[in-house]
């Protein structure tokens, strides 16, 4: 019986055999999403983590210690959530006391948007990843090679940062403002999944509401 003909070579110019995979990991709070990122180190990869959830670095260090992994293969940058100033909270409370929901939603410029720069900070870090553990800069994440892995921990924090960028401390947001934040986040994910050659893992929380 003759051998089956060989498959024709791919003609897809976007196919890159050296590109790492992109993975979305979803789970509830405390289910081990951050801890599991160190399996990438166990596979021999150098791990870079953009942290947006408080305590993420502690979970990574616990996993590295538990598994006896090389700490030199772990790098992180933690961008904390926006912490409003007291004057901002008082101003927001005054507006809520004096205005109805419709009027609050129609505020066009947001409130104190200059105090909500976390999304911008995350983009700057992806442009030149700065490891807060070692103080080193590693350049753009889309230049990382497949012997490295980039993780976003978590997408939930990115969601909030993108909305904060649009509305600041405004206590409500209309559909159009949500759309602007979603578009910014969509473009970021397209950049990471389309341009990065390293392995990519994005952690997110499930919503049971």
Residue 51: strand pairing partners: 78, 153
> How many CA atoms lie less than 13 Å away from 72 in the CB half-sphere?
0
At 136 the pLDDT is 97
pLDDT in tens, 38-90: 999 999 999 999 999 888 899 999 999 999 999 999 999 999 888 888 888 88
Rounded to whole angstroms, the Cα distance separating 97 from 6 reads 73
With CA atoms as reference, report the closest residue to 131 among 206, 54, 51, 187: 51
pLDDT in tens, 155-166: 999 999 999 998
At 9 the pLDDT is 46
Q: What is the DSSP string of 6-54?
A: PPPPP--TT--TTPPPEEEEEE-TTSSHHHHTTHHHHTT-EEEEEE-ST
Average pLDDT of the segment spanning 160-179: 86
Average pLDDT of the segment spanning 144-149: 96
């Amino acid at each position: 019986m003759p051998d089956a003909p060989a498959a024709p070579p791919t003609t897809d110019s976007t196919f890159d055999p050296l590109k790492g995979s992109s993975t979305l990991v979803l789970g509830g709070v405390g289910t081990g999403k951050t801890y599991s990122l160190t399996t990438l180190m166990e596979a021999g990869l150098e791990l870079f983590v953009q942290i947006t959830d408080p305590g993420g670095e502690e979970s990574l260090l616990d996993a590295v210690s538990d598994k006896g992994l090389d700490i030199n293969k772990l790098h992180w940058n933690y961008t904390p959530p926006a912490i409003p100033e007291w004057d901002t909270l008082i101003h927001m409370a005054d507006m809520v006391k004096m205005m109805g929901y419709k009027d609050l939603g129609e505020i066009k410029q947001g409130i104190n948007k200059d105090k909500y720069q976390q999304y911008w900070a995350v983009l700057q870090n992806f442009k030149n990843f700065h490891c807060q553990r070692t103080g080193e800069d590693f350049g753009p994440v889309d230049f990382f090679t497949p012997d490295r892995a980039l993780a976003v921990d978590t997408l939930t924090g990115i969601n909030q940062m993108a909305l904060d960028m649009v509305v600041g401390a405004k206590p409500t947001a209309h559909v159009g403002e949500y759309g602007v934040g979603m578009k910014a986040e969509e473009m970021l994910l397209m950049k990471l999944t389309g341009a990065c050659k390293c392995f990519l893992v994005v952690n997110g929380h499930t919503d049971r509401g």
